[in-house]
């Protein structure tokens, strides 16, 4: 059990169109009112949270709090694994969800009410959950990144790139919906090969190929209603041979209610490893952050971190 008295918060002040930065003094008061000893830092640039998390862990941190969306949480997660490889220590993670994408909090039932989110940290329990690990390959280079909620190849990378470049004044739902429609207007389906658990299962024109640990992504899309964060596997979902109009009408219009899986061009597999390859470069979305690759291999790292719920 982590020392609940000392907490180390990493805050993305720009999350939620600046809402996280504006609300942080209030959140800090809530934490102090709950008798926490708080150390905190604001992130200043991309991957800053990664380095802050590593430094906190080197100094003995046992409980890290992610304040913001899934982008900052992904950086913290990767910092945790980097520190674990060096030091063999893995702290507990907690979240106060404020951001455009806060989909993992939906799966874990973490309240968006700030005081109630602090109450989860104070009175909740540690849940041991799975994490995804991705090996990227692009132009002869390989690198690794971990994800906690969802990752996908194809359309999702284009959506993430657009949503990360526009003001978030509309909130998560409309930002991701409009970004999805904008991306679809220019997106060209790609020929991708897909393997699940070492077996080649398909090849052809794909719109999106995703791996989900949580049930939601894209600002509330209920993409994998059956997903569980602690069952040692992930839900692999892909859409093949669906044109613009079919994708909008049969997939995008239905995904918020989880009804898209009824469409015969949406394919679902459950497994421990997903490999996607293409002759061309494609974009990949990793917890809302964008990478480029020609091949990715995603594997499950079962019961690898503790998170407050």
pLDDT tens per residue, range 41-97: 999 999 999 999 999 999 999 999 999 999 999 999 999 999 999 999 999 999 999
pLDDT at position 170 over 60: no
Q: Which residue has the tokens 């030091």?
A: 87
Q: Which residues, in sequence order, are CB contacts of 93 under 8 Å at separation 6+? A: 63, 64, 65, 66, 73, 76, 77, 80, 305, 306, 307, 308
Q: Domain check: are 232 and 281 in the same one?
A: yes
CATH number of the domain bearing residue 275: 2.60.200.40
pTM for the structure as a whole: 0.92
- Number of structural domains, the chain? 2
pLDDT at position 180 over 60: yes
Q: Domain check: are 40 and 107 in the same one?
A: yes
Residue 165 lies in a domain: yes
Per the model's pLDDT, the better-predicted residue between 107 and 16 turns out to be 107
Residue 160 lies in a domain: yes
Q: Domain check: are 161 and 97 in the same one?
A: no
Residue 309 lies in a domain: no
Q: Domain check: are 207 and 82 in the same one?
A: no
Residue 308 lies in a domain: no
The Cα-based distances of 24 to 10, 28, 48 in angstroms read 10, 6, 18
Q: Domain check: are 175 and 141 in the same one?
A: yes
Domain that holds residue 254: 131-303
Q: Domain check: are 102 and 231 in the same one?
A: no
CATH number of the domain bearing residue 78: 3.40.50.10330
- Torsions phi, psi of 93, nearest 5? -110, 140
Q: Domain check: are 136 and 35 in the same one?
A: no
Q: Domain check: are 204 and 119 in the same one?
A: no
Q: Domain check: are 111 and 216 in the same one?
A: no
Confidence band, pLDDT 50/70/90 cuts, at residue 185: confident
Cβ contact 196:273 at 8 Å: yes
**Which residue among 92, 124, 156 closes a domain?**
124
* pLDDT at residue number 219: 84
Share of the chain above pLDDT 70, in %: 93
**Which residue among 124, 144, 171 closes a domain?**
124
**Which residue among 72, 89, 124 closes a domain?**
124
Q: Domain check: are 187 and 287 in the same one?
A: yes
Residue 148 lies in a domain: yes
Please state the separation of Cα 117 from the chain's center in Å. Answer: 19
pLDDT at position 1 over 50: no
């Amino acid at each position: 059990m982590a020392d609940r008295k000392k907490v180390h918060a990493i805050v993305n002040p720009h999350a939620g169109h600046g809402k996280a930065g504006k609300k942080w003094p209030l959140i800090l008061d809530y934490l102090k009112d709950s008798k926490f000893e708080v150390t905190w830092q604001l992130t200043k640039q991309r991957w800053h949270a990664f380095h802050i998390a590593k430094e906190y862990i080197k100094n003995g941190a046992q409980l890290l709090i992610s304040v913001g969306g899934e982008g900052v949480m992904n950086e913290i997660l990767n910092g945790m694994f980097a520190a674990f490889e060096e030091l063999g220590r893995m702290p507990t993670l907690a979240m106060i969800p404020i951001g455009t994408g806060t989909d993992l909090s939906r799966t874990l039932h973490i309240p968006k009410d700030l005081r109630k989110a602090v109450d989860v940290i104070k009175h909740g329990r540690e849940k041991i959950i799975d994490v995804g690990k991705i090996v990227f390959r692009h132009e002869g280079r390989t690198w690794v990144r971990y994800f906690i909620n969802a990752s996908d190849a194809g359309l999702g990378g284009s959506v993430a790139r657009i949503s990360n470049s526009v003001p978030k004044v509309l909130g998560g739902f409309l930002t991701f919906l409009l970004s999805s429609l904008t991306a679809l207007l220019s997106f060209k389906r790609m020929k991708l090969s897909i393997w699940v658990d070492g077996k080649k299962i398909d090849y052809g024109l794909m719109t999106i190929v995703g791996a989900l640990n949580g049930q939601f992504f894209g600002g509330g899309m209920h993409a994998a209603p059956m997903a569980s964060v602690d069952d040692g596997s992930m839900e692999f979902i892909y859409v093949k041979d669906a044109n613009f109009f079919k994708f909008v009408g049969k997939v995008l219009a239905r995904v918020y209610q989880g009804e898209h899986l009824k469409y015969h061009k949406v394919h679902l597999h459950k497994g421990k490893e997903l490999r996607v390859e293409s002759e061309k470069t494609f974009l990949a979305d990793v917890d809302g952050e964008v990478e480029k690759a020609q091949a990715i291999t995603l594997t499950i790292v079962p019961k690898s971190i503790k998170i407050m719920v």
